[in-house]
Amino acid sequence: NPKEAAAGTIRADFAESIDANAVHGSDSAASAEREIAYFFAAGEICPR
């Protein structure tokens, strides 16, 4: 929620609402893995 975000953060500066924003954070590691696969092939992801 951009109204609850700290001033100066990307979410506070660029989001208009929870639905219309420039930032997304997955709710779990499993969700992140699934969502990342929508945008990147396995060979494009670098291990940390």
pLDDT of residue 40: 94
Which pLDDT tens digit goes with each residue over 1-48? 888 989 998 888 888 888 887 777 788 999 999 999 999 999 999 887
pLDDT of residue 41: 95
Task: Dig out the tokens for 25 from the structure.
Answer: 């954070």
CA 10 to chain centre: 11
- Is 1 part of a structural domain of the chain? no
- Is 36 part of a structural domain of the chain? yes
pLDDT of residue 39: 92
Query: 0.75 exceeded by the pTM?
Result: no
- Is 18 part of a structural domain of the chain? yes
Query: For the chain, what is the domain count?
Result: 1
pLDDT of residue 1: 82
Catalytic site positions:
24
- Is 5 part of a structural domain of the chain? no
Structural domain harbouring 35: 10-44
- Is 28 part of a structural domain of the chain? yes
Task: Dig out the tokens for 45 from the structure.
Answer: 């992801």
